[in-house]
Amino acid sequence: MDSDDQVTKRVLGNIQPTPAEVVLLHTSLSGIRRHFFASLRAKQFLDVKGVVYYQIDANRDFSSAANLGDAQLFDKLKADGLLKLDPLASDGTILMPQIFVDGVFIGDDIAIQDLEEDNDFDWIISRKACGACLSDKDEDAQICPNCNQAFKTLVPPELIYSGSVQQIYRGCNTGTQEGTVFEHPTFFTRNSVVLENQLQSNGDDIYGDTDIGLEDTPNIVESVSTSSKGNMIANKLNSENDPNEDLEENKDEDNNSRLVSNNSEVDLSTLY
Instruction: Report cis status (omega within 30 of 0) of the bond before 145.
Output: no
pLDDT score for 165: 92
Dump pLDDT digits (tens) for 245-270: 444 444 444 444 444 444 444 444 44
Least confidently predicted of 12-26, 28-42, 120-134, 138-152: 12-26
pLDDT score for 194: 39
pTM for the whole structure:
0.64
* 169-193 per-residue burial string, b: 16 or more CB within 10 A, e: under 16: bbebbbbebeebbeebebebbbbbe
What the chain holds in terms of domains, given with CATH numbers, is 4-186+262-271 (3.40.30.10)
Confidence of residue 126 (pLDDT cuts 50, 70, 90): very high
Burial degree of 236 (CB within 10 A; 0-12, 13-18, 19+): exposed
Mean of pLDDT values over 93-101: 96
